[in-house]
Amino acid sequence: MKLLIYSHDTFGLGHLRRCRTIAHSLIDHLHDLSVLILSGSPIIGSYGFRSRVDFIRIPGVVKLRSGGYTPHGLDISTEDAIAIREAIIRSTADVFRPDIFLVDKEPLGLRGEVVNTLELLKSRGTRNVLGLRDVMDDPASLAVEWERKTVLPALENLYDDIWVYGRPEIYNPLNGIDVPQKVLDKITYTGYLRRSSSPTLTPSEMNHADFDNPFILITPGGGGDGAALVDWALRAYEHDPDIPAAAVIVFGPFMHTELQAQFRQRVDRLDKVTALTFDANIEHLMSLADGIVAMGGYNTFCEILSFDKPGIIVPRTTPRLEQYIRASRAQDLGLTQMLVGEGNYDPQKMARALRELPGRPRPSEANLTGLLDGATTICGMVDQWTNPTKTGDPRLRIVGEDL
């Protein structure tokens, strides 16, 4: 049995890490499964993959502030980069002949680059699945985007299933969009994707002593847009050096090197703050931390829930409201605290939040059932597809018509 996963990965770590988690969960569950991931991430090689999981890196593209794209490394036009990507994706699917094709987040792929592949595989009987994170964007913006891209016909005609990696009581990502019933019938809310930690060597930039005392982990994810969070946390420790818990800051691989150098100069002047650039096994650091301060990306949110850590989410509000919506809903449900700078990033406000963080309620105290059932639900559904005689647990499926 073969699964092909497409992850456009134009920015950050989210898509790649989500796909890797799903792949590893499925190969642990199905011992005759092979998984191939198509990704544009420039750092996919930094991650370890288990036996029967491999990847093909397609040429990367980077999203510009204007909303357009440019090739990440090649000195060619964006159109040529997309054409190369599209050709690699289609030829890979043609030769690999997957039983299941899982597309992450972008129903048509970047600039429609997976449409031809979806049509090819549909004609061969492959099960085409779209995976959506719990929050895509604010409803008005998503409706306009999907109308411009003509997404709904593809959801009706090219996809067999739609997985939402979340819970309907937290958010419905298609809220506000006039979705045909035929599409709603394809939706399954899987629950969030549980993460696990395996002990690893101490990152080379740190000493074992850094973990001997309680610490708060501060992470802006990939770091490409995380300067405001890191600056706010550093200003808090500069303003209040007596904050009880120490801090470990992970800048992220995409934070500009000049910014990292400026932040390291400030870190060197603070006794309680340590920093490192990147750790591909950041889950281990999260499992050791007494609390987590992060932006509101999907993966970090899953990790806060999985390791049951008190969390402060400082969401970005541009270019999408995704993180703000997720953070505000999580705060409403008692899962995490949200902190918004509102333009001034008051160090006293952050210092107070850091002092209180280790004693704040853990996500498990919100008592939401099925919150982290994502991998279990996905494995159960694939079981039923590969062995129709199996009787599935009806509790695994929460479909669109039930909302």
233 lies in the same domain as 142:
no
Report which of 334, 333, 291, 336 is spatially closest to residue 315, judged by C-alpha positions.
336
Average pLDDT of the chain? 89
189 lies in the same domain as 215:
no
End-to-end CA distance of the chain: 33
pTM of the predicted protein model: 0.90
Q: Does residue 201 sit within a domain? A: no
- CA gap 309, 329 in Å, rounded: 17
Quote the distance between the C-alpha of residue 96 and its chain's center: 26
180 lies in the same domain as 234:
no
Name the residue range of residue 294's domain: 208-366
- Residue 313: pLDDT band with limits 50, 70, 90: very high
Token code pair at residue 267: 């870190």
CA distances from 20 to 86, 277, 402 (A): 21, 21, 30
CATH of the domain at 344: 3.40.50.2000
Q: Does residue 199 sit within a domain? A: no
329 lies in the same domain as 289:
yes
119 lies in the same domain as 265:
no
184 lies in the same domain as 262:
no
CB 296, CB 321: distance < 8 Å: no
DSSP 290-305: SEEEE---HHHHHHHH
Q: Does residue 200 sit within a domain? A: no
Digit-coded pLDDT (tens) for 384-403: 998 776 555 433 444 443 43
Q: Does residue 94 sit within a domain? A: yes
Digit-coded pLDDT (tens) for 330-345: 999 999 999 997 778 9
Report which of 30, 29, 35, 40 is spatially closest to residue 54, judged by C-alpha positions.
35
Q: Does residue 203 sit within a domain? A: no
Residue 215's φ and ψ, nearest 5 degrees, are -145, 155
CA distances from 149 to 8, 68, 142 (A): 16, 14, 10
- CA gap 275, 303 in Å, rounded: 20
Digit-coded pLDDT (tens) for 173-186: 998 899 999 999 99
126 lies in the same domain as 253:
no
Q: Amino acid identity, residue 112? A: G
172 lies in the same domain as 317:
no
357 lies in the same domain as 235:
yes
- CA gap 80, 86 in Å, rounded: 10
Q: Does residue 382 sit within a domain? A: yes
228 lies in the same domain as 105:
no
Q: Tell me the mean pLDDT in the region 297-320.
A: 93
- The least confident of 18-27, 193-202, 284-293 is 193-202
Number of separate domains in the chain? 2
82 lies in the same domain as 18:
yes
Q: Tell me the mean pLDDT in the region 28-44.
A: 91
| pLDDT for residue 341 | 77
- CA gap 36, 286 in Å, rounded: 28
- CA gap 139, 118 in Å, rounded: 26
Quote the distance between the C-alpha of residue 212 and its chain's center: 29
Per-residue DSSP letter, 317: -
Q: Does residue 122 sit within a domain? A: yes
174 lies in the same domain as 228:
no
- CA gap 298, 295 in Å, rounded: 9
Q: CB-based contacts of 389: which residues, under 8 Å, 6+ apart?
A: none
Digit-coded pLDDT (tens) for 268-295: 999 999 999 887 778 899 999 999 999 9
- CA gap 335, 301 in Å, rounded: 10
Percent over 90 (pLDDT), the chain = 73
Q: CB-based contacts of 183: which residues, under 8 Å, 6+ apart?
A: 152, 155, 156, 162, 400
